[in-house]
Amino acid sequence: MTTTTEAPASQPIADMEADSLIGTFPEGQRLVGSQCNTCGCTMIGSRVVCSSCISRDVSRVALPSTGVLYSFTRIHVGTAGIRPLGYVDLDNGVRTLADIREGDVPLRPDMRVELGIDDDDWFFTPAAGEKRED
């Protein structure tokens, strides 16, 4: 007599609940984040599972609208022109890759930036009070 044992098959889990990262909160429109109620990890996006401890006990939170530009680059996109991209460290420590819109102030690492929302697009711009360094 032979017996067969099979390992239980794991179920695939969609990591994100929604595609949009913009949500409406009492503070106004903000980037949507998730906070794990088990380990405290905060992540960008509306998550189903914690990316740190894999707990399913996560809550939707509003992420800060300000941060610091960690690093950036400018991508030359054919006829569309130049598209600045940068890593932004939000004030709660979450790092995100984001479009950066340059204004009168040249971009530099460690400059304060703030969230901008234009319809469904979101981006960061130099924060008010950032000055040109000449």
Q: What is the pLDDT of residues 11-32, one digit of tens each?
A: 766 666 667 789 999 999 999 9
Tokens describing residue 2: 């032979």
- At 95 the pLDDT is 96
This prediction has a pTM of 0.82
Strand partners, 29: 24
What's the average model confidence in pLDDT over 110-123? 93
Lowest mean per-residue pLDDT among 15-29, 46-60, 108-122: 15-29
Backbone angles phi, psi at 79, to 5 degrees: -80, -10
123 has a pLDDT exceeding 80 = yes
